Structure 1
Amino acid sequence: MPVRHRCAPFALLLVVLAGCQSGVDGGQAAAPATTAAPTTAAPVPAAVISTDPPLGSTGVDPVTPLRVLAGHGTLTAVTVTAEDGTPLPGALDPAAGTWTAAADLGYGTTYAVQATATDAAGRTSTASGTVGTVTPRTLTMPTVFPDADTPVVGVGQPVSITFDEDVTDRAAVERRLSVVTTPHVDGSWSWLSDRTVHYRPAAYWPAHTHVVVDADLYGVDVGDGVHGQASKHVEFDVGPKKVGAVDATEHVLRLYVDDQLVQTMPTSLGKPSSPTPSGTYVVMQQSRHYTMDSSTYGVPIDAPGGYRTDVEYASRLSNSGIFVHAAPWSVGQQGYRNVSHGCLNVSTADAGWFYENFGRGDVVEVSNAGPRLAGSDGFGDWNVGWDEWVAGSALHPGV
């Protein structure tokens, strides 16, 4: 007997319903399946080489860091040469995207730049050109004191920078001057003239201070087409506090080390016709033998009051000719009367003691004598009040 499949009609109904839902029923054709369009890879950009300053630049500041840069790639070769063929040293960063010169550029020089870079696809790009630096009208060399020959100075020693050309842009210079001390001591620059600028604290340096001076002046336009010839770095230490004090009415020079009295010396200062200026002096230099000559301050040797005398143990205190020195001829007046031409006369033994125990940067304070020592005379800086001193700065005038 044939087997009857009673579920077949129901299965057929499901097929028919499925056909209706899919759009087969009613004569509608099924929508074709969609296919994604094939993607196209983005093009690899070519490497682009640039420089900072740009190629073709002229009049460039020689301390401008010359850089060669690669965009969309890496640098594979960079050469920079001066006109005489001297290569400019430099180095790539770790990613080989930037080459930076490792030295300052020279004045008035044209540098030839050649560079090669590779992009991600391995293609090579090249660039070449020149960069030219400024040609100054003239150069000025800064001289810094204290220097390498004076590693230790006294508490009164200002920092002095002198130039061999006039500085008309004082602010440009001051921005490139730095003084760092250990321990920290506040101070200020002050211009004494167009060629001289000094730095000091409000009061004497603390004993045993370490001072670091940087005059980063190479490449700086100091005005009127004059540029800095070189930069200078100096370090020095301040020694013990050594101060001499003399009252012109007492005729005694008292010497202190770290505020302790260590020596007294009878002395004779300037006579009434040539009084010793009152004020604070700083020992500038010392000579075992020295010739005193009145013509150095305008009095001829053969004129009334003129002289030319050899002395021993001469410690200069001012440009105007004030010294502590041996004066055996006036020992009878030392401690009693002022008979010198302005110097501090002491005995040969006392002058030798001062010469051996006091030195550059140490201080001598003179009171109740003649008119005040000018701040511009030698290292007469301490004779200028602090507010006036700071007002002499190009960056802080009137503070």
Structure 2
Amino acid sequence: MSGSRATAVLTALLVLALPGCRAAAADPVQAAPAGTTSAQPAPAPAEPVVISTDPPLGAVDVDPVTPLRVNAGHGELTAVTVTDEDGVVLPGGLDADGTTWTAAADLGYDTSYTVTASAVGAGTPAQATGTISTVRPRTLTLPTVYPEGGSVGVGQPISVTFDEDVTDRAAVERQLRVTSTPAVTGSWSWLSDRTVHYRPEQYWPAHTHVAVDVDVYGLDVGDGVHGQQSEHVEFDVGPEKVAVVDAAELQLRLYVDDQLVRTMPTSLGNRANQTPTGTYVVMGQSRHYTMDSSTYGVQIDAPGGYRTDVEYASRLSNSGIFVHAAPWSVRDQGRRNVSHGCLNVSTADAGWFYENFGRGDVVEVAGAGPALQVWDGFGDWNASWADWQAGSALATPAA
């Protein structure tokens, strides 16, 4: 090699070796020192277990139908005990994953309950103890439902009567439910501060099954009065039985499922004691009954007063209208009105009516005296459908 070429090669090698000089290729990635590893994050600490109740511990004036629940957060419940002031244990149970305990019974009025619970989990276990107190009513009201069961006729309204005044009718009505098979269109209507009735738009269809729920336990019905208990009633509607009479003809025609089955000559109220015109519902029956004018304000010894024993009496109104045996007026039956307001029929016909018609069956009287009032017995059908609906506390006011 000539001297000049050797000098050039040596110079190139020295340049490559000098610090800070860059080769044409990128710098190689520096490797981690042998024997070392990457750092791992420390695990988060486990959440502590938390116990809560609904309503919360310390709550007062609690509605007794509020479902009492005990809940575990970040863990599972291991024990829950709820006792009243007498040490009686409130029943309840855990859900499938063990995180919620739910009471299986309503709470009592004006009662303090002690709740004790424990729970475990990945974090710190927990325990909780405290009390929950329910509302103290000013007084209680007991609802009575009619019919209470059994079988009734197609005209039978449902009656719910309270033994205290209801001032929050809407609150009560929201807790009333009627379920029928087949379904019907119906409405509640208030007759007074203590009584509300339900009827369909038309008579019940024959052979309907009806269930009534009055869910007022725990409910404030107004002015600090609370429902004493709830009620559930079921009844059945029998065949359609309707008796029809026109005062101009005085023949009581009885129909079963729209078929005429019997015709009875009758005598209605005389001029001084006219039978009200309207739709009646059989309220009850007595094999023997004493008619007493003093029960509606006319003393026995007063003009028009009376006290008479009769057979086969089927009551149609609170004001004293019956279908009953009147052997003394057989000659007038079908011809003229001579009774004190009742539907007089022969003993044989009264017995047939007594045996074949019953509570809830219908008697329609046309062309007689002034109109039967809605509040007289089960006079519910004497209101138009619009007027009946207007009696509901939940009715929308007319525009």
TM over 0.5: yes
Question: What CA RMSD, in Å, does the superposition of the two structures yield over aligned residues?
Answer: 2.0
Distance 1:22 1:266, change over 3 A: farther
Q: 1:306-385 alignment to 2 at 5 Å? A: 306-385=305-384
Q: 1:1-399 alignment to 2 at 5 Å? A: 33=33, 36-121=38-123, 123-148=124-149, 151-398=150-397
Amino acid at match of 2:352: W
Instruction: Report Cα offsets for 1:193-235 as digits up to 9, x if no partner.
Output: 0000011111111111111111111111100111111111111
TM-score using structure 1 length: 0.91
Instruction: Report Cα offsets for 1:142-198 as digits up to 9, x if no partner.
Output: 1111113xx110000001100000000011111111111111111000001000001
- What is the CA–CA distance in structure 2 between the aligned matches of 1:392 and 1:97, rounded to whole Å? 47
- 1:8 counterpart residue number: none
- What is the CA–CA distance in structure 1 between the aligned matches of 2:203 and 2:66, rounded to whole Å? 38
Instruction: Report Cα offsets for 1:103-160 as digits up to 9, x if no partner.
Output: 0000000000000011214x42100000000010111111111113xx1100000011
Deviation at 1:398, TM superposition (A): 3.6
SS in 2 for 1:68: strand
Whether the 8 Å contact between 1:155 and 1:241 is mirrored in structure 2 is yes
- What is the CA–CA distance in structure 2 between the aligned matches of 1:345 and 1:32, rounded to whole Å? 118
- What is the CA–CA distance in structure 2 between the aligned matches of 1:269 and 1:278, rounded to whole Å? 11
Instruction: Report Cα offsets for 1:322-380 as digits up to 9, x if no partner.
Output: 00001111111111110000000011110000000000000000000000000010000
Whether the 8 Å contact between 1:248 and 1:369 is mirrored in structure 2 is yes
- What is the CA–CA distance in structure 2 between the aligned matches of 1:225 and 1:296, rounded to whole Å? 36
- 2:4 counterpart residue number: none
How many correspondences in the alignment? Answer: 377
Amino acid at match of 2:102: T
Q: Unaligned stretches of 5+ in structure 2?
A: 1-12, 24-28
Deviation at 1:45, TM superposition (A): 1.1
Amino acid at match of 1:269: L
- What is the CA–CA distance in structure 2 between the aligned matches of 1:240 and 1:114, rounded to whole Å? 57
- What is the CA–CA distance in structure 2 between the aligned matches of 1:398 and 1:300, rounded to whole Å? 45
- What is the CA–CA distance in structure 1 between the aligned matches of 2:140 and 2:310, rounded to whole Å? 40
- 1:26 counterpart residue number: none
- 2:10 counterpart residue number: none
TM-score using structure 2 length: 0.91
- What is the CA–CA distance in structure 2 between the aligned matches of 1:396 and 1:22, rounded to whole Å? 94
Deviation at 1:37, TM superposition (A): 2.7
- What is the CA–CA distance in structure 2 between the aligned matches of 1:31 and 1:186, rounded to whole Å? 86
SS in 1 for 2:191: strand
- What is the CA–CA distance in structure 1 between the aligned matches of 2:152 and 2:59, rounded to whole Å? 47
Deviation at 1:251, TM superposition (A): 1.1
Whether the 8 Å contact between 1:137 and 1:225 is mirrored in structure 2 is yes
- What is the CA–CA distance in structure 2 between the aligned matches of 1:371 and 1:247, rounded to whole Å? 14
- What is the CA–CA distance in structure 2 between the aligned matches of 1:393 and 1:30, rounded to whole Å? 88
- 1:9 counterpart residue number: none
Amino acid at match of 2:358: G
- What is the CA–CA distance in structure 2 between the aligned matches of 1:341 and 1:30, rounded to whole Å? 121
Q: Unaligned stretches of 5+ in structure 1?
A: 1-12, 24-28
Whether the 8 Å contact between 1:288 and 1:312 is mirrored in structure 2 is yes
- What is the CA–CA distance in structure 1 between the aligned matches of 2:284 and 2:246, rounded to whole Å? 23
Amino acid at match of 1:87: V
- What is the CA–CA distance in structure 1 between the aligned matches of 2:45 and 2:168, rounded to whole Å? 54
- Greater shift, 206-215 or 278-287, is seen at 206-215
Deviation at 1:30, TM superposition (A): 6.1
Distance 1:67 1:30, change over 3 A: closer
Distance 1:324 1:21, change over 3 A: farther
SS in 2 for 1:273: helix
- 2:5 counterpart residue number: none
Percent pairwise identity? 72
Distance 1:385 1:32, change over 3 A: same
- What is the CA–CA distance in structure 2 between the aligned matches of 1:196 and 1:30, rounded to whole Å? 94
Deviation at 1:35, TM superposition (A): 5.0
Instruction: Report Cα offsets for 1:241-273 as digits up to 9, x if no partner.
Output: 000000111111110001111000011000001
SS in 1 for 2:344: strand
Instruction: Report Cα offsets for 1:51-99 as digits up to 9, x if no partner.
Output: 0000000100000000000111110000000001100000000111100
Distance 1:322 1:22, change over 3 A: farther
Whether the 8 Å contact between 1:271 and 1:341 is mirrored in structure 2 is yes
Whether the 8 Å contact between 1:390 and 1:397 is mirrored in structure 2 is no
Distance 1:22 1:160, change over 3 A: farther
- What is the CA–CA distance in structure 1 between the aligned matches of 2:40 and 2:378, rounded to whole Å? 85
